[in-house]
Amino acid sequence: MSNQSDIKLTEVALRDGSHAVSHQYTVGQVTSVAKALNEAHVPYIEVSHGDGLGGSSLQYGQSLTDELKLIEAAVSVTDFSKIAVLLLPGIGTIEDLKKAAGLGAKMARVATHVTEADVSKQHIETAKDLGMETVGFLMMSHMAPASKLVEQAKLMENYGADTVYVVDSAGALLPHEVKERIAALRQELTVNIGFHAHNNLSLAMGNTLAAIEAGATRIDGSIRCLGAGAGNTQTEVLVAVLERMGLKTGVDLYKMMDIAEDIVAPILPKPQEINRDSLTLGYAGVYSSFLLHANRAAKRFNVDSRDILVELGRREIIGGQEDMIIDVAAELAKAKAPV
């Protein structure tokens, strides 16, 4: 079990939660959330488009507000919390990273598909050169065995990552699978190990605790569960659970409860819950940010969104292949049509 001073939380509602609000965050919303999280002593606050720096596009969803303005706003109201940004090589660029660092972002989380860590090299190295704390983020970790995960994590460690994350992008991992992956990384790596959960199978909290038990010390949460799919590990609940376990995070529990209730709840378009679509994401092992795209395609082609998601899972479609959602929906509609 990790030492109680070791659990460091990253709040992802202002990045992962961007999916849940269709990337419509305003400067006012980001300012009020970041200011309150800073007062609650949350160590890291991630701010970016849902798909990371440079994600605002027709393919991934256009932002209401330029994310650089949101990053700048968050930096301006935080003196304790460090602002983190997410970057997916191929979507975000080195130039985007430099701009974010110039605005005061202190942590770069470089995300790749679980088998493609090699594309993160120059981004992790650049982040280090910029003086940023660097995180390697291995997405869709359910799609590779622990041995492959270790191999890929070692690449990120060699590039200079301070932390490597097991990322359950689909919310598809089961607790014993989380434990196996985190334990394997803990055994083979010298850097910090992190875990990012999604709640599509109602396992975010259980998986997070399994990760901590196996040696993860960097943990992601989203306040009020504000994240893609059914959301992430609920931060304010996690703080309470860890306190019950005698694990201190340094985060003010009552303040987190108040932020969840008074500031974040009114931002949510609808309560984060496990519905048939988000449940299907976890069941089929599909990237959580595909949910809104699949819903739109289902309406457009008059097919069941669950059929789209299950077929995407069968084809092992990964982040960055959003265009396949329309193709699959069109094929399903064609197959359904009377000859």
169 is in an annotated binding site: yes
49 is in an annotated binding site: no
Token output for 109: 């989380």
Identify the bridge partners of residue 139 per DSSP, sorted by sequence position: 113
Q: Residue 154 to residues 142, 184, 185: CA-CA distances in angstroms?
A: 18, 11, 9
d(CA 92, CA 96): 6
278 is in an annotated binding site: no
Identify which of 148, 152, 211, 157 has the alpha carbon closest to the alpha carbon of residue 180.
211
Distance from first CA to last CA of the chain, Å, rounded?
61
113 is in an annotated binding site: no
Output b/e per residue, 76-93; b: 16+ Cβ within 10 A.
ebbeebbbbbbbbbebbe
Query: Catalytic annotation on 23?
Result: no
Helices (H), ranges, 103-259: 121-129, 146-159, 175-188, 204-213, 235-244, 253-258
Helices (H), ranges, the chain: 17-20, 27-39, 67-76, 94-102, 121-129, 146-159, 175-188, 204-213, 235-244, 253-258, 276-284, 290-301, 305-314, 323-336
Identify which of 96, 163, 103 has the alpha carbon closest to the alpha carbon of residue 123.
96
d(CA 46, CA 37): 11
| Catalytic positions, written as ranges | 19
Binding-site residues from annotation for substrate: 15-16, 169, 196, 287
Binding-site residues from annotation: 15-16, 169, 196, 198, 287
Binding-site residues from annotation for Mn(2+): 16, 196, 198
